[in-house]
Amino acid sequence: MAKHISQQTFDDVVKENMKEFDMEVGEALEDAIKQFESQGVNLSNIVKDASLYVGGTLNGQPVEHPVIVTLKKLSKLLEGGKADNADVCACLKTFESECDVDLSRRCLAGTNGAYPVLFKACEKYRSEPVMLRRCLSALCALCNGQPDVLDIRGTVLFTQLLDEYRNDVETLEPTVKLIRLFCIKHENNRQGFVTEKLITKLVCLIDEFKAAGTLVKEICFALRVLTFDDDIRVPFGKGHEHAKMIVAEGNALKTILNICNDYTHDVGVLGELFSTLSKLAVRDEFCKEVMDLGGLKLILLTLQENLKHQALCRQILSLLKALAGNDNVKVAIVANNEVSLILAAMTTHQANPRVAEAGCSLLATVALRNPESCKKIIECNGHQVVLQAMKIHEKESGVQKQACMALRNMVARIRENSELLLELGAEALINKARISHKDCDDEAKAALRDLGCKVELKELWTGEKGTLQQ
């Protein structure tokens, strides 16, 4: 893991270069960057602004970054008995603009106490929706990429705002966005919000305000984030449990599918709804429920009508892959002759690696332990589409891995398919994937083995005492 340093440490080195080695500010800055990067230090959180080191002082005071100057001004305004709303609003707007520039400015603000100041502003203007929205927007800019600033008081307050402004869509949007940003890559924050009944509140809001497309998209994103397992600081997250809670406590599958019917001509909102469904289809019975509610028919019809929409096609392919974890759904996809539709989507957007990966992953799932599905894929030339994806995206590890799995599943129970794939150069493509991408070695070996190709399968553990063999 890369090391990090404080802004002060970086500034001291730049100033030392200027003072001790008589460097110009640009040279001193460049040298400091090279020094730290050579030591494996990640400088993404460091402001590298030459103007901070020019002149040394201003009116006897050290030159400060604008984000710090604005923060101090805002803090003084809030300390006053009656702060002028226009002045506070101007400070918040300037602060937000600075934070939006890059992560380093947000980190600088965060390490200089920005969160307590903005939290105080939220409390002060809690009953004034216009000013509160400005405070929430500034907080969104601050915590984007640094969710650690949140404390317990914030978890409680921001969840309560969902109830206090449940009839104010304009205020709900930044509130949900803020909660979502606090939950990205932070398992403790996610669990804290879930404890405050966030799931129930969000599902109720999306149902109540289903006509508000922007809010629907924001709530969808927030629900998905609760299912993430992206915090490397914790060994086990509760994303799977959260997904089950969203379905069980909020009856989310039926709610979201009903809303999908209202947005059949809005691919932006529909894509968010489909992406959320794919994160909730974590159990066999959930997948079947979606199909029983008419979801599979809706999804496939949407794909047919929107083949030219690249993002939506990718989202639908990912959703179908999740649903195909249920054998009934898998059979239904093939029985309704939808394999050709899936391949049409992959072919239409064959230049896009994310579509290719999602498509290959779906085909791998559909073909798994299902000879009839394999036959249908081969009949529709699905094997050729997969091999073409490997050729086009030879540098994309995800595409190569999913393609290897798809090819392996196509021949695992129908050995006669092997010759067909080998004639089309499958062995060479799989071996190339092995050499180029170490993380798809296992999938590539499995594909080669089931294709009947020569492959060295190293036995890492023999069951005897001793260490693993390298």
Handedness of CA 44, 50, 55, 58 (dihedral sign): negative
Q: Which of 201, 203, 199 is nearest to 216 (CA)?
A: 203
* pLDDT, position 452: 92
What does the block give as tokens for 10? 């970086």
What does the block give as tokens for 393? 């995206």
What is the Cα 444 distance to its own chain's centre?
A: 27
Is 154 within 8 Å of 119 (Cβ atoms)?
yes
Neighbouring-strand partners of residue 389? none
Is 287 within 8 Å of 323 (Cβ atoms)?
yes
d(CA 435, CA 31): 38
Task: Tell which CATH architecture fits domain 311-452.
Answer: Alpha Horseshoe (1.25)
pLDDT in tens, 163-172: 999 999 999 9
Torsion of CA 142, 143, 146, 148, to 10 degrees: 120
Conformational region of residue 186, where left means phi above 0, alpha means psi within -120 to 50, and beta covers everything else: beta
Please state the domain extents for the chain.
Answer: 7-63, 311-452
What does the block give as tokens for 170? 């304009």
Q: Identify the helix (H) or strand (E) that includes residue 58.
A: strand 57-58
Residue ranges in the chain whose pLDDT is less than 50: 56-61
28 to 22, 53, 431: CA distances (angstroms):
9, 10, 48
d(CA 381, CA 421): 11
pLDDT in tens, 378-411: 999 999 999 999 999 999 999 999 999 999 999 9
Three-class SS of residue 312?
Answer: helix
Is 433 within 8 Å of 390 (Cβ atoms)?
yes
What does the block give as tokens for 98? 């600075």
- What is the CB neighbour count within 10 angstroms for residue 21? 10
* pLDDT, position 65: 84
d(CA 357, CA 346): 9
d(CA 439, CA 399): 12
* pLDDT, position 73: 94
* pLDDT, position 60: 40
d(CA 17, CA 24): 9
In angstroms and rounded to an integer, the radius of gyration of the C-alpha atoms of the chain is 27
